[in-house]
Amino acid sequence: MDLFRIFGREEKKSKNIAKERLKLVLIHDRAHMSPKFLEMVEGDIIRVIKQYAEIDENELDIKLTRMKRESDNMPMSALVANIPIVKIKDIGE
């Protein structure tokens, strides 16, 4: 009986992963942004932030998503970044 639960969970996980991947493909397509473009933007963001802070690149999560604009509730693309900061650098004034 436990095997069915295990397989059921794995199927759900795979289903959710596939669903998320499809959403990302659709978002990239609708935003007219290629994965290469997003990769370049991610590199630029990381490079700029590293000038000011030490970050945990292993836990970095930058993705393109869809959201609704507050002003008129219209859908729009959004770049969402979760960048764990380990330490702020002492830049000096």
The verdict on residue 72 lying in a domain is yes
pLDDT of residue 75: 83
Q: What number is the average pLDDT over the span 33-38?
A: 78
Q: By C-alpha distance, which of 76, 78, 45, 48 is closest to 63?
A: 78
Tell me the pLDDT tens digit for each residue of 38-88: 888 889 999 999 999 999 999 998 887 778 888 998 888 888 889 999 999
- Taking Cα atoms as reference points, which of 68, 91, 65, 69 lies closest to residue 82? 65
Is 0.75 topped by the overall pTM?
A: no
CB 86 within 8 A of CB 36: no
The answer to whether position 44 is within a domain reads: yes
Quote the number of domains for the chain: 1
Range(s) of the domain holding residue 75: 2-88
pLDDT for 24 equals 65
**Is 67 domain-assigned?**
yes
Residue 93 placed within a domain:
no
